[in-house]
Amino acid sequence: MPEFIIPIIFSWPFMVLSILASIIGILNDRAWIVFLGALMIIPFAYTLNSLPPFGGYALFLPVLQISSAFAVYEEKPVWAWVLFTPTITIIMFLIVIDSISGFF
């Protein structure tokens, strides 16, 4: 397997694609797109789970996105957004930390 594939799967591009897919899926009432976003975040959640601040809790991110897909399927968009909010919050937090660390 080429060496450049692994960082793509476990890093920022799949996180951004996961968020975009889930947002598009929630806005368009397509549960399968939200589920696809949940599948894309699994490698990142597994990697994030090894860090001490997120130990054990990061594995709930894909579960929450799958629950959000189920809420979209049941036509409850408010619950879909509520269940998707922790994923957005953690990823935005990591983007801010990553951008701040470039300045120091």
Instruction: Output the CA–CA distances (angstroms, integers) from residue 47 to 11, 12, 53, 74, in the order listed.
Output: 9, 12, 12, 31
Residue 84 pLDDT greater than 90, yes or no? yes
For the record, the structure tokens of 18 come out as 């996961």
Q: pLDDT tens for residues 24-66?
A: 999 999 999 999 999 999 988 888 888 888 878 888 999 999 9
Q: Which residues contact 58 (CB under 8 A, 6 or more apart)?
A: 45, 46, 48, 49, 51, 90
Contact call for residues 41 and 66 (beta carbons, < 8 A): no
Instruction: Output the CA–CA distances (angstroms, integers) from residue 1 to 11, 12, 15, 41, 46, in the order listed.
Output: 17, 20, 21, 20, 20
pTM of structure: 0.84
